[in-house]
Amino acid sequence: MKSKKKIILLSIVIFLSVLSSIGGFYGGKVYLSMAQAENNFYDSISDEKELYRQANSNQEIEGNSDKFKATLQEDSEGREEKSFTFLLVGNDSRYGEVSRSDTLMIGKYNYQKNKVLLISIPRDTYVNIPTKGNQKINHAYAYGGAALSSVTIENNFGVHLDKYASVNFQSFIQVVDAIGGIPMYVEKDMYKDGGGEYGIDLKQGQQILSGHDALAYSRFRSDSRGDFGRVERQQKVLAAIAEKMKDPSIISKMTDLIDIMGENVKTDLSMDAINSYLIDIAKRPNFKVEFDTVQGKGGRGSSGAYYLYVTDEEKQRIADKFNNF
């Protein structure tokens, strides 16, 4: 059977947008649905992360400075109260197959600034994966899930990640359809015969995208911009969903959205932690999201595979921006 063409998942937009929206409409019925969903979505990876960190403790990563190494020893105690960092993973784990990550973002929630920073990491980025050697960064998820993905990013980009959330692509289509689609200006005609579920046929102009079309739009990369164009579209769709979730009519659909989350989301944020952040967001509605993307130069490796090579200077830029946000 033809490979499933792993889907772009828009940086756990379902997870962040749904949680952010609940903060504005918090109520007993919603809380009960979340409590029931927690049984499905809570999954700690702290032990696995520590094992990968220990396995990698004596391994030198090419290009990493002393500043990077020092960062890896940080924890959340030194940060501002209620601020935390996280990994966002989008994956397609249907049909019992081993899943690679198709969307990777690292994020930082700064309580004082009332902002979140989201940095996209293209899936072809060439990195050192602990215990596995130099490969594409999206292979880490297939080898060791969110735990190995987290440690790989920490080691290669000089950041510390406290939490994670991983979302299966099925929830993306369901969520967009549940909220009635999203408004989007499609910047050009987009067509690719992918056979129903994977195809795309969009015309330039303003329109309402269904879940299928929003997913197809976000994963399209059959143009000169490749993965960078796709990352920009991911971020546009993320912003559109977040804006749509502010509509007061969404409250009537909130329990359905939480049910979708419970079936498709894995995270090590506890119910109590989520509850606390929802209350904070509800009290301070002018919540902002800032985006960035890891930059690099594409090229072929010795095997002929395509990689995105990231310079030490770019790694340092990402480390500085993330750690100082």
pLDDT, one tens digit per residue, over 13-40 is 445 544 444 444 444 445 555 555 566 6
Flag whether 16 is in a domain. yes
In the chain the beta strands, taken as DSSP E runs, fall at 84-91, 101-110, 115-120, 126-129, 133-136, 163-168, 182-186, 190-192, 200-202, 205-209, 265-267, 288-293, 297-300, 306-309
Give the integer Cα–Cα distance in Å for 180 and 124: 33
How does pLDDT run across 87-115, given as a tens digit for each residue? Answer: 988 876 654 455 666 778 899 988 888 88
Entry pTM: 0.75
Flag whether 26 is in a domain. yes
Flag whether 242 is in a domain. no
Give the integer Cα–Cα distance in Å for 155 and 53: 9
Flag whether 37 is in a domain. yes
Give the integer Cα–Cα distance in Å for 229 and 212: 19
Flag whether 104 is in a domain. yes
**Cα torsion for 243, 122, 153, 132, to the nearest 10°?**
140
Give the integer Cα–Cα distance in Å for 26 and 254: 10
Domain that includes residue 122, residue range: 10-179+250-324
Q: What is the CATH number of the domain that holds 311?
A: 3.30.420.590
- From 88, 93, 81, 89, select the one nearest 107 (Cα to Cα): 88
Flag whether 213 is in a domain. no
Give the integer Cα–Cα distance in Å for 275 and 284: 15
Residue 292 has which token pair? 């960035």
More confident position, 204 or 230: 204
Flag whether 36 is in a domain. yes
Look at residue 20 in the predicted model and tell me its pLDDT: 45
More confident position, 24 or 304: 304
Number of structural domains found in the chain: 1
Is residue 135 very low, low, confident or very high in pLDDT (cuts 50, 70, 90)?
very high
Look at residue 141 in the predicted model and tell me its pLDDT: 93
Kindly state the average pLDDT of the residues 274-286.
68
The answer to which of 122-126, 209-213, 244-248, 282-286 has the lowest mean pLDDT is: 282-286
Whose tokens are 């490796």? That residue is 301
Flag whether 39 is in a domain. yes
